[in-house]
Structure formats: C-alpha cells, structure tokens
Amino acid sequence: MIEAEISLQTEDGTMRAFTTRPDEGGPFPVVFFYMDAPGKREELHDMARRIATTGYYVVLPNLYYRWKDDFVLDFETGANRTEMFDLMNQLSNAMVVQDTQAMLDHVASADFADGSRIGCVGYCMSGPFSLVVAAAYPEQMKCAASIYGVRLAVDEDDSPHLGFPNTKGELYVAAAETDEYAPPEMIARVEAALAESGADGRVEWYPGTHHGFAFPTRTGTFDKAAAERHWVRLHSLFDRNLR
C-alpha cells in the first residue's frame, strides 16, 4: 500500500488529508472518507485502508482544519469532549461541500486516481456530509453512504434529506436500532424522503446495535457482526457503482 499525508488548499486554508491506495495498478476509483466528530485518527486510517486494499484511492481529510491542525478526542478521559462538540457545531454542511471541491481538484490532477468514479462515506457527524455532497456534486458522486449518521432530516434549509431529488448516485443509509443521535422518527423521515424523491437508495436497520457499532475501538458499542455486515454493504455499494 502507498500512504501519504497531503495538504489540500481550500478557500479557507490548508486541509491535511490521509490518503491510501494499492501499490500496484491504477488509476483507482476514489472514495472520500469523511471523519466523525472525534477527529481524524488511526482508527479511521485503518478503516480507510480496509477500503483501499480492495482497489480504491481513499482520501480522509481533517475537517476541523479551520480551527485545529490536529484534533483527536481523548477517549479514555474525555477531557477534550467539550472542545469536540464546539468544533462539531462550527462545522457546516456548506463548509464540507466547499472542502470537497479541493478534494475533487486533487483527484482530477492525480494520475493514479480515476476522477470519473468517485463515491463517499461518512459516519456519525459526517453521515449527513456524505449525503449533502452527493446532492451538491451529482455528476461526480456515483454513490454515497451514511453510517449511523446524525441530523439527516432536520427542519433547516440545508437538511440532507431535502437534497435527495438532486442526487443521481446510489445512496445507502445504515441506522442503529438504538441511537439517541439518530432516533427512529428521524430515520422514518429519511425513508419517506427517499421514496418521494425517487432517488436510488435505501435505509437499512441494524438490529440490536447502538450508535458507533462499526468503530472497532469503541468499547461498549462495537458490534463485530454488525460491523462486518456494514463492510459487506459498503464494498458492494462501491463495487456496483465505481468498478
């Protein structure tokens, strides 16, 4: 595998990103991996590697770059938990859409990446980002996944579910059975909006799971069987749309 930390120039500054791809072959289809609230960290790097090893170029940016060059939640003590929520609340859908343009520019200029085949995935905080990006860049984004994403259907003008009619790529929304951040009534609104829009997508419930079930180091919530199921769904989504 070939890995690198790169710097991408956005309208608001320099955004670092972890990238990984196979060391043979190419150009590779691309996956944009949007980080969750605890920050860009080795746990996510490992998840990006799992995608890349099957033949993708994965780009995982630090979305907090406007305020912090590097932030990772201290899971043991939670000492910087308040800072995490402050950062998360400052980051908007519009900012991520803007940052994605820098990512698109990067893959367009990289000879090892195939910029005509791009998908994206987000977890928790970034679940809505993946759906918003799919609507903002319908020609470029061939598919998008939200894994226990929050704020997917809210009473705001930039709510992700409102963008479904503009989306051309396939959408996949994974929902934990017990999730205070993504309650059943919100997921029901997402399902209804998908059906009404005619977008190519579906919602899948993961019985017996809690928010964060796919993160391997998330003590108390990690569910190995559900995590593996989500990997099967994710790889199938990418293979259908990006190969």
How many of the other CB atoms lie within 10 Å of CB of 4? 9
Q: What pLDDT digit, counting tens, does each position of 145-204 carry?
A: 999 999 999 998 999 999 999 999 999 999 999 998 999 999 999 999 999 999 999 999
Which residue bears the tokens 């033949």?
55
Q: What pLDDT digit, counting tens, does each position of 197-223 carry?
A: 999 999 999 999 999 899 988 777 898
pLDDT of residue 51: 98
pLDDT of residue 79: 84
pLDDT of residue 81: 87
Alpha-carbon span 216 to 88, nearest angstrom: 22
Q: How, if at all, do strands 113-123 and 28-34 pair?
A: parallel
Does the pTM surpass 0.75? The reply is: yes
Instruction: Quote the DSSP letter at residue 24.
Output: S
Burial category of 139 from C-beta neighbours within 10 Å (exposed 0-12, middle 13-18, buried 19 and up):
exposed
Alpha-carbon span 130 to 96, nearest angstrom: 9
Pick the CATH number of 2-242 from 3.90.79.10, 3.40.50.1820, 3.40.50.1000, 3.40.190.80: 3.40.50.1820
Report the SS3 class of residue 21. strand
Cis peptide bond prior to 61, omega within 30° of 0? no
Q: Which two tokens stand for residue 203?
A: 């919602």
Q: If you compute the radius of gyration of the chain from its CA atoms, what whole number of angstroms results?
A: 17
Alpha-carbon span 234 to 241, nearest angstrom: 11
Alpha-carbon span 152 to 110, nearest angstrom: 32
Mean pLDDT of 130-151: 97
State the chain's mean pLDDT as an integer.
95
Percent over 90 (pLDDT), the chain: 87
Q: How, if at all, do strands 2-10 and 13-21 pair?
A: antiparallel
Mean pLDDT of 38-47: 94
pLDDT of residue 129: 98
Mean pLDDT of 218-235: 92
pLDDT of residue 173: 98
